[in-house]
Structure 1
Amino acid sequence: MEEEFWNSINLIAPPFTTYSVRRKNFGTDQFKKCLENAIAYFAEQTTFFEEVNQISQIIYLGKSQFRMMKGFQEMKKTHQAAIRFKRLNIVDILEAFNSYVADDFQSEILLPSRQNLDYVLIKLQGVSKILIRIITCSRKSSRYFLGLIKMGSFYIKGSIFVSTLAKVWDMSREMCQYAVKLYNDLRQFRDKLQEIKNCEWIANNCELPEKLEDWLGDEYECFVNNETYDTKLLTKSEDIENFRKEMQQVTEIIKNLKTNEQEDKVESKSISEFFPVKIEKMELEIEDYKPILRNEVTHLDYKHSLASVRSKENVKLFLKFEDKYRKQDPQKSITIKRLKQKAWKDFKNDFKNKLLLMQESPLLEYFHDNLNHYMSNE
């Protein structure tokens, strides 16, 4: 079985040996430019490591609270792969190899051996594999936290997690594409370089692929080179102009509706002329543009009783009003006769955390069971 040299941590580089060749037999302009561009590109990826440092801080702060969440475990895998990528230090490898490539201004030039180029190509294989690992793990983690946000929980921390992971995912995807392109460009020069004899570095049965994307296989096509979705926001001038026109149309509709309300005349035709959607749907969208007063009361229909607790919002209102009644109006309080202040405080603090982590159905069951448990023990 062929050994996976790209996955070897202790892979020893071959001794750097050079040989002289006439300049006309090997044009170094393209070769040198390819290496210098690659060094500059990987050296400028400071933003990537800043995002990785942010993931490190998130893991440190939430390692106890979120350790059982699958998305958090995938985030830790993303961080571990990013650390391996940093320790690989591809910039130093490329700079060391580039230092042995002489400038193309002499009649005879010095070039490194084929074994030295093979070492760089093997390291690029490892870089691409590690970056794909970062891409897949960050994608799984972000999808997990997006699922929690869609279910109506984990808004604040979930948004921070997803935004950080998305940045790491996007930059890893871009770097992986560049690493594949760099490998393919350098691979073309392999046959032009001379192989040093009596230099047994790796096994003879190790063959480097012609195209790195073919060697990576489905992982590269599915997770890196997949162009079936758009990863950019409104960046085109046409998109921005269309968005402005739509917003102007919505503003005109709102003005017309306000005028019609004052005259007690509502014309549904004005809406359908602009948007081919149902009137009920448009009315819901227009409601979003109405200002919400800071002190506006949104719980007029709430009745303070255990039977009215049927949703997450009811749990929040119950805790809020019960705490208020215990201090200001004890006659309306439900728990003041059965729960002491310390027990009520423990119960309230417990549910502040549960509201962020638990789904609605198990949360309601947990609420009623624990409230009865607290009240029966007092």
Structure 2
Amino acid sequence: MELWNKRDLAPPVLITFKCKTKHCKEDIRALCTALSTALRYFESLQSFEKAAAYVSRFSIRWNNRFYNMHGFRLLKRLNQALLRFRSVDIVRVLTDLVSMMPDVNYLEKTVDLPTRASLDFLLIRLQGLAKLFFRIVVLSKDAAKYYIRFISACYFFNLSSMFLCLLAEIWYKSRDICQQIGKFYNQLFPLRMLLADDGNEWPSKGAAALPDNLVAWMGDDWTEEIVIREDQSTVLNLRPGTDLFLLLTGEEEDLSSSRKIDARIDSKVSATKDSATSLPRTILMQNIKSDIGEVVVRQTKKPKEKQIDWRPVERLKSKFDVKKFLEEEKQKRKQDLPRALTSKVNSAAFNAFASSMMRESGKMSTGDYVRVFTEELEALVGKKKTSSKKQIKR
């Protein structure tokens, strides 16, 4: 088994060596920049990880219902490939390497660099990821072909549409990841000769037999599925009238399956037209005429004004009752203003009214004081009593 295909490949021991930077400053900067760029890219794949989590959830949620369907089996294989990508943990490998690199802004005469085995381990992991994401791209496309046939036949339309959207997202982002992996590998491979060999021959002799160009090593299938070319429109057979079914299935010139589906749709449409023309003209016009319904005009009703409850005022019989009423009214205005009798009176007017009535309490008799207080309160509120009240003459 080749090294890139070993899932449990043990990493080398992280060792550094002293390197003089007199003649290799640019190469050291290029190595640090390439490693930092790769680390930032793989850390920014949150949207892809979210889509991969949806694939895992879907494969578990609908396993009992669709476990025997070929398209769902492809989805489960895709889930296994995505789980293997998480087990590689390429971010940790890049983090270990970046932590051992010097600061590119200021390079001293002698710096500490990791050994060549550490970079070879990263290149081997990139090889494995390239193969893995190529498999993800192929599985996504094959599963999408299967579900697009379901959609065209209106079979489990809602679930198939949801699966198709998810597979399209996985396919699109995996192709971009494949291109970035090839770019990072081709940038890092020429710089491996900058690093010294520690002599431990990790993991065995001939382990550093790495390809010079990852894209060429992947072969023609990589070029067909991953590399974007200018003549891609001709490869995908994009002609006038090409629909999503033809784009995903990639049928030959006869297009027998798509023609069968188009014929079935045309037959349904023609049957609907024939049934419509066979109806009497009056019934047909009633069906065509749009029913806008009865026009309803909403009448806005004015809200009824809340009537003032004068019963507490009618029960006033003495100066003590008037004083107690004013104290309760002040408390209501502070705690619950809508319940107060003088809720619509501003604070300045009410305070002036209360102060004047307290001053007049010692100048009048009890009957006159209660009558004057009631009249002044009615004038202050601006409302007439709702219940009859005995008038007290001066």
TM-score interval, smaller chain: 0.5 to 0.7
- In the TM superposition, residue 10 of structure 1 has moved relative to its aligned partner by 1.5
Structure 1 residues 200 and 72, CA gap change in structure 2 (3 angstroms)? closer
Q: What residue identity is the alignment partner of 2:38?
A: A
- Whole-Å Cα distance in 1 between the matches of residues 128 and 114 of structure 2? 21
Larger radius of gyration: 2
- In the TM superposition, residue 300 of structure 1 has moved relative to its aligned partner by 6.8
- In the TM superposition, residue 200 of structure 1 has moved relative to its aligned partner by 4.2
User: Matches of residues 243-322 of structure 1 in structure 2 within 5 Å?
Assistant: none
Residue matched to 2:224: 222
Q: What residue identity is the alignment partner of 1:139?
A: K
Counterpart among 5, 8, 22 of residue 6 in structure 2: 8
- In the TM superposition, residue 152 of structure 1 has moved relative to its aligned partner by 3.5
Residue matched to 2:79: 79
After superposing the two structures, state which structure 1 stretch, 171-180 or 147-156, moved more.
147-156
- In the TM superposition, residue 57 of structure 1 has moved relative to its aligned partner by 2.0
Residues 219-270 of structure 1, C-alpha deviations (whole Å, 9 max, x = no match): 311211143446xxxxxxxxxxxxxxxxxxxxxxxxxxxxxxxxxxxxxxxx
Residues 309-361 of structure 1, C-alpha deviations (whole Å, 9 max, x = no match): xxxxxxxxxxxxxxxxxxxxxxxxxxxxxxxxxxxxxxxxxxxxxxxxxxxxx
State the 4+ residue runs in structure 1 displaced beyond 3 angstroms.
226-230, 298-302
Does residue 92 of structure 1 match 2:88? no
- Whole-Å Cα distance in 2 between the matches of residues 58 and 15 of structure 1? 40
- In the TM superposition, residue 24 of structure 1 has moved relative to its aligned partner by 2.2
Residue matched to 1:24: 22
Residue matched to 1:43: 43
Say if 2:71 and 2:146, in contact at 8 Å, map to a contact too.
Answer: yes
Q: What residue identity is the alignment partner of 2:166?
A: T
- In the TM superposition, residue 199 of structure 1 has moved relative to its aligned partner by 4.1
SS of structure 2 residue aligned to 1:65: helix
Say if 2:117 and 2:202, in contact at 8 Å, map to a contact too.
Answer: no
Q: What residue identity is the alignment partner of 1:192?
A: L
Say if 2:148 and 2:160, in contact at 8 Å, map to a contact too.
Answer: yes
Counterpart among 168, 184, 202 of residue 166 in structure 1: 168
Counterpart among 138, 141, 147 of residue 140 in structure 2: 138
- In the TM superposition, residue 299 of structure 1 has moved relative to its aligned partner by 7.6
Residue matched to 2:33: 33
Say if 1:103 and 1:109, in contact at 8 Å, map to a contact too.
Answer: no
- Whole-Å Cα distance in 2 between the matches of residues 52 and 74 of structure 1? 14
- For structure 2, the residue ranges without an aligned partner over 5 or more in a row are 234-268, 279-394
Residue matched to 2:57: 57
Residue matched to 1:352: none
- In the TM superposition, residue 301 of structure 1 has moved relative to its aligned partner by 9.1
Counterpart among 170, 177, 191 of residue 175 in structure 1: 177
- In the TM superposition, residue 151 of structure 1 has moved relative to its aligned partner by 2.8
- Whole-Å Cα distance in 2 between the matches of residues 119 and 205 of structure 1? 10
Residues 185-230 of structure 1, C-alpha deviations (whole Å, 9 max, x = no match): 0001012211112444223265100000111112311211143446
After superposing the two structures, state which structure 1 stretch, 219-228 or 108-117, moved more.
219-228
Structure 1 residues 197 and 161, CA gap change in structure 2 (3 angstroms)? same
- Whole-Å Cα distance in 2 between the matches of residues 222 and 56 of structure 1? 28
SS of structure 2 residue aligned to 1:188: helix
- Whole-Å Cα distance in 1 between the matches of residues 212 and 69 of structure 2? 41
Structure 1 residues 97 and 62, CA gap change in structure 2 (3 angstroms)? same
Structure 1 residues 96 and 29, CA gap change in structure 2 (3 angstroms)? same
- Whole-Å Cα distance in 2 between the matches of residues 112 and 205 of structure 1? 18
- CA RMSD for the aligned pairs? 2.4
Say if 1:213 and 1:220, in contact at 8 Å, map to a contact too.
Answer: yes
Say if 2:120 and 2:208, in contact at 8 Å, map to a contact too.
Answer: no
Structure 1 residues 54 and 126, CA gap change in structure 2 (3 angstroms)? same
Residue matched to 1:191: 193
Residue matched to 2:117: 115
- TM-score of the superposition, structure 2-length normalised? 0.56
- Whole-Å Cα distance in 1 between the matches of residues 201 and 156 of structure 2? 58
- Whole-Å Cα distance in 2 between the matches of residues 197 and 36 of structure 1? 27
- Whole-Å Cα distance in 2 between the matches of residues 129 and 206 of structure 1? 18
